[in-house]
Structure 1
Amino acid sequence: MKNKSLTALVSAFARAYHAEHNRQPVFDDSLARAMLSDEEYFSIGQHMSQGAGFFLPDFSGTQDEALRAVVDYQLSPTPLGRAAFTEQALYVAVMQGAGQYLILAAGYDSFACRQPRWARQLQIYEVDHPATAADKQRRIAAMLPVKPDNVHYIPADLAEPAWLQLLQAAPGFNREVISFISLLGISYYLPKAVFRQLLSDLAALLPAGSSFVFDYPDEHTFTPSAGERAQKQVVLAAQSGEPMQASYAYDELEQLLEACGLLIYRHLTPSEINSEFFKAYNDSHPGHHISAFDNVNYCLAVKR
């Protein structure tokens, strides 16, 4: 990936569109729209509305209605649900004493810029591929006059071992401090051995009580039994130059985490995600239903 991540830009678009078009959003990313230029925002929207026939073959309606349908059906469920799950778990971790927040493959996540009062005691470390990291910092500089002093950016490729040294050399980083680690959107795109090594390295670096949150595709993702949306997501990821490489059965994931010294604390399947994060929204927006993404689960694990 020599260029900025296209999937990260589309995720930012989905969060921005949802926040702009709903009074009671599933997840209110109030700064996602500011991350995108007008040209990018409208270009992505136009591209997605024109692709309605791919996402929803039976759809008929205006271009605006097509965009809304595509966002609700395909683009927003995972970025919204996993962000809500993560920030809910982060709040609990901070209340229990976590002092560092590591956001790996941060993309255009805006938490560091819109951090609530309870997060200001945290040291926040964003780690991402240098091209995406540089692009994001350029956007933030244009958006915020002053960067929060508890935020640190680490341009690094997670597939290269040197990133851990860069993290440890970052201002204020303390391997003795209980930490909360976000690995959203990572498990899909790394070979299993690389993802396992990533978890193992972090677990070895950080103290007991540190939390790890991530989403992952289940074992049916690359099979004919996968849901229609999941199958299309695999196609889209490959076309964007960021092919999906791994999926996990629950038992397999549990064994992988245990080998890294991690225990599953919370685990949500699509039906559970719907109940916890989408039901209230759907009840108040009956014409714009959103459902958890096919074959994607959320996991919160804790170091023993």
Structure 2
Amino acid sequence: MNAASGGGRRLLTDEVLRQRGMTEPEADADKEGRGNVLVIAGSREVPGAALLTATAALRAGAGRLTIATPASVSMAIAIAMPEARVIALAERSSGGLGTEAASQLEDLASRIDACVVGPGLMDEDATVAFTQSLMERFSCPLILDAQAMTVLSLGTRPRGPVTVTPHAGEMAHLTGQAKPDVLANAQALASEYAQRWQAGVVLKGATTCIAFPDEPCWQHDGGDVGLATSGSGDTLAGLMVGLAARGIAPLDAALWAVRLHALAGERLTARHGRLGFLARELSDEIPAAMHRLCTGEDR
């Protein structure tokens, strides 16, 4: 495996990604050939999380998009995202997903190429119960974000590959560690829990650690404070699921998503400065960022 390494870690760079390559669809592929992606996200309080995640999935190159979201916000999301099929899920009075919501998606299990669960979902107990039920039905690559990640700390084991995307505070919650200890030992913790959970761990921060079971830990040092903005993590999760839907292996989907996300931030910083750009603007930068990473040429 080609990588730049140092100090027991593999450094994620543009050159490394070009060497690893990215699976490209055939020139005559239709939207099915570019992958079917399912985004389960949003709530009455945070409906925009579904839009941020779904937009990033399409910008990453996925061909067909389905959004499943609580019924109370489904119509607004459908209008805001005309590219998507939108499924209205049963919800509790708390705003969390109802126990029957996973069964509403059962018919999709054989047709979805990758799925992300969690951005903007409310009510942790409801989200955990829903995610556990979903994991019994779906064997495609799953990206778990926000409260959906809790299922792994409870011992739930997936049928297919899973990647989780915690920041340091969420990793502290999942592992019972203090946040300062997570920050001080990010690489070791990411590797330990990737093995323990048998899942990919993308531990986000100014330095992001990407660990997968039985793989060396990768480190990306190119994060910037401008990316520490509301909704940025939803965009990263969307990039990851969009790439996975295209048939890119979960580890490579994570590596490419982390670097694309950072490069989109770099492009916005060059135009606007380090602070003040919005998560919704990141996805617009992704096609040009992807072209640069694949070819070395700017657009």
TM-score range, shorter chain: 0.3 to 0.5
Which one has a bigger Cα radius of gyration?
Answer: 1
TM-score w.r.t. the length of structure 1 is 0.38
